[in-house]
Structure 1
């Protein structure tokens, strides 16, 4: 069994989008009877009801919603392929579904995404902003940006940046509490925690001369959104230990001050995570190349 008629998928997509077969048929330039026949043919082929029908509207079933997600992606790929062949400008089109870490999105990525959309007006971006480790295959993501080394062999990773964690605080906090002189001093400070891979990150590690020191810290604030630890540090309530990429602008402006500069924080690579068993659309390749260039520029400025 396979779906052979792309027009049937278009009926599904437009009916879901517009709420009725009549509106869908008008958009597609066919009669309501023809649109109804296409939808019934698709349901018969799949052996599943795709819509709950009523006199007022048509509501997607669970099966219909599942197929709709894939139908949208299939039609986007076909449209993109046509554009690549027919458009001499090789225009990019379609929706980019991207999962990104919370703090990196707010601190660095949002203006870059604006720039990419300005350069590619046929592209839309659907962002999932979370520190949760997204399953790019299960969650139907085109791309995920994640810190740390890749552990899932089903996926492929393209390195985007190499960074380390940095210990820092605001000038207001340091004026009130003083600066730690060694990692062991952190037990005397209010350390702002966040969740890492679903667990509260409370063991901070530092390296000097090849020797590692680990300190178990505590504080009066913690969150499952690492961006909050950043904001609390800016507000002067404690210390944070995060990727330098997340903090780069505030460190440069002096809003945050790097502490223990003679100690290196943990290495924290940033990768673009891609599903290995799925065709890579041109818009995804373009976004990864764009981000790689942006991170390279940022690294050059930092150097």
Structure 2
């Protein structure tokens, strides 16, 4: 069994992406009849049905899903090889699909992406900004940048930065409400919680070490008056004096330096919150994606 025409695989990918043969044909700039014939030829060569037609669209069969993953990786590898032959190994080109948190994107990643694209004019970047956890396979992402501990063993992770979360608010908030005396005192304050992995994050972790003593660990269940699934909006609420939020030190780095936000508990450490670059474990990693990750790691290291 073999596939005789690589263009048939391109029809498979376009049809899965678009949901219909006519839309796939428009994307590939061929006729719908040609697209249908190429898909039928592929199914005949494989001896398997790849799509089931519903009333509105085509849906992949289990065999189609399996082949789709391999076809995508094979075409990515082919594209990378053609690119390197065409422009030489010192030049990068192609498209990079990235997902990243909102606050981190706004304060750090967007200008760094601009720098990277100036260095590599033939590279384009599509950025998906969300604090929700994207599925790299389902959403066809090349790279995801995520905070926190890792649970998905199907991904390859590279540490970009060691950071922590900090309970913080604006000077105006503390002028009105005072500072919490210790972590437990947060329960009487106006708190702003984030939604992490689809749930409100209301359990805030703190650690303190006194001279020669064992670290004291405290977990506090806050009662947030405001909660949001976008870290940038929680950040804005804190800057506007609306309450205390529990943010990554990277996200509030500049505001802490310029006094726009202040730590609520300066004698306590917040929860470790490492930042990773993640790739699908079973997918070829193009040179442009590896180069972007190297560049981001250098930029984050420079913040220290």
Bin of the TM-score, shorter chain as denominator length: 0.7 to 0.9
- Secondary structure at the aligned position of 1:192 is classed as strand
**Residue in 1 that maps onto 2:105:** 105
When structure 1 is superposed on structure 2, of 225-234 and 158-167 the one drifting more is 225-234
Shift of 1:219: 2.4
**1:19-98 → structure 2 map (5 Å cutoff):** 19=26, 23-24=29-30, 38=38, 40-42=40-42, 44-45=44-45, 47-48=48-49, 61-63=58-60, 74-88=74-88, 90-98=90-98
When structure 1 is superposed on structure 2, of 155-164 and 223-232 the one drifting more is 223-232
Q: 1:4 to 1:126 in 2, by over 3 A?
A: farther
Partners in 1 of 2:91 and 2:51 — Cα distance? Answer: 33
Q: Deviations over 1:211-260 (max 9, x none)?
A: 11121111221112222211111111101111101111222222212222
**1:235-254 → structure 2 map (5 Å cutoff):** 235-254=240-259
**Residue in 2 that maps onto 1:259:** 264
Partners in 1 of 2:38 and 2:91 — Cα distance? Answer: 31
Partners in 1 of 2:158 and 2:27 — Cα distance? Answer: 43
Q: Is residue 96–residue 126 contact of structure 1 (8 Å, CA) maintained in 2?
A: yes
Q: Is residue 76–residue 95 contact of structure 1 (8 Å, CA) maintained in 2?
A: no
Partners in 2 of 1:211 and 1:44 — Cα distance? Answer: 67
**1:154-165 → structure 2 map (5 Å cutoff):** 154-165=154-165
When structure 1 is superposed on structure 2, of 76-85 and 213-222 the one drifting more is 76-85
When structure 1 is superposed on structure 2, of 182-191 and 139-148 the one drifting more is 139-148
Q: Deviations over 1:141-194 (max 9, x none)?
A: 222111122223332211110001111111221222222232122122100011
Partners in 2 of 1:252 and 1:101 — Cα distance? Answer: 21
- Secondary structure at the aligned position of 1:168 is classed as strand
Give the ranges of 4+ consecutive aligned residues of structure 1 lying more than 6 Å apart after TM superposition. Answer: 32-36, 49-52, 64-70
The root-mean-square deviation of aligned C-alpha atoms, in Å, is 3.1
**Residue in 2 that maps onto 1:270:** 275
Shift of 1:51: 11
**1:106-255 → structure 2 map (5 Å cutoff):** 106-209=106-209, 210-255=215-260
Partners in 1 of 2:223 and 2:36 — Cα distance? Answer: 62
When structure 1 is superposed on structure 2, of 274-283 and 74-83 the one drifting more is 74-83
Q: Is residue 244–residue 264 contact of structure 2 (8 Å, CA) maintained in 1?
A: no
Q: Is residue 205–residue 270 contact of structure 2 (8 Å, CA) maintained in 1?
A: yes
How many pairs are equivalent? 286
**Residue in 2 that maps onto 1:284:** 289
Q: Is residue 100–residue 144 contact of structure 2 (8 Å, CA) maintained in 1?
A: yes
When structure 1 is superposed on structure 2, of 257-266 and 11-20 the one drifting more is 11-20
Q: Is residue 168–residue 244 contact of structure 2 (8 Å, CA) maintained in 1?
A: yes
When structure 1 is superposed on structure 2, of 107-116 and 79-88 the one drifting more is 79-88
- Secondary structure at the aligned position of 1:19 is classed as helix
Mind listing any 5+ residue stretches in structure 2 that lack a counterpart?
16-21, 210-214
